């Protein structure tokens, strides 16, 4: 599916409107209609290739908030219409010691970042458009979407 986004096509180009391809929602994904997305200084360092490994087009941003609009067959704890959010990681191996204690940011097998990387399962570019680690925030009680493959949490 093609969607509109803001990104850069090279380190010396500005952020500008563009169209990007999103993969289909997988069995453990939560697709989000993004309402708000923060772009912080670290995102801009990555866009400008001041850190190694920038993948272009680079569509920066994390600290994402929106509504769940589609759910994979194995997603629980989130329903369509829920307010959800995503940080800088959208997936991890969920099997290493760090993932087992809820520290996906220290995943030994490298997590799937919100942007500037590839989805560990499909190999396609990650633009955080179908996210596996969405956190639901209904009312005053936040809860994490728990895919069925995440048995160690």
Looking at the domain assignment, is residue 150 inside a domain?
no
Looking at the domain assignment, is residue 104 inside a domain?
yes
CA proximity to 144, closest of 95, 109, 97, 94: 94
Give the structural domain span for 93: 2-144
**What's the CA gap between 94 and 145, in Å, rounded?**
13
Task: Say which CATH number the domain at 114 has.
Answer: 3.90.180.10
pLDDT class of 131 with cuts at 50, 70, 90: very low
Split into its structural domains, the chain has a count of 1
- How high is the pLDDT of residue 82? 95
Looking at the domain assignment, is residue 152 inside a domain?
no
CA proximity to 87, closest of 119, 113, 110, 69: 113
Sign of CA pseudo-dihedral 44, 11, 23, 146: negative
45-94 pLDDT, tens digit per residue, is: 999 999 888 888 888 888 889 999 999 999 999 999 999 988 888 888 88
**What's the CA gap between 116 and 47, in Å, rounded?**
9
């Amino acid at each position: 599916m093609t969607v509109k986004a803001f990104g850069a096509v090279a380190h010396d180009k500005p952020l500008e409107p563009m169209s990007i391809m999103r993969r289909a929602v997988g069995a453990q994904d939560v697709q989000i209609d993004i309402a708000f997305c923060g772009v912080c200084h670290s995102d801009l360092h990555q866009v400008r290739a001041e850190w190694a490994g920038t993948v272009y087009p680079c569509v920066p941003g994390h600290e994402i908030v929106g509504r769940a609009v589609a759910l994979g067959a194995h997603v629980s704890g989130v329903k369509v219409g829920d307010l959800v959010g995503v940080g800088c990681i959208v997936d991890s191996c969920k099997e290493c010691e760090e993932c087992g204690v809820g520290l996906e940011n220290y995943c030994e097998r490298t997590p799937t970042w919100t942007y500037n990387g590839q989805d560990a399962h499909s190999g396609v570019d990650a633009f955080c458009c179908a996210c596996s680690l969405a956190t639901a925030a209904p009312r005053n009680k936040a809860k994490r979407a728990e895919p069925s493959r995440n048995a160690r949490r």
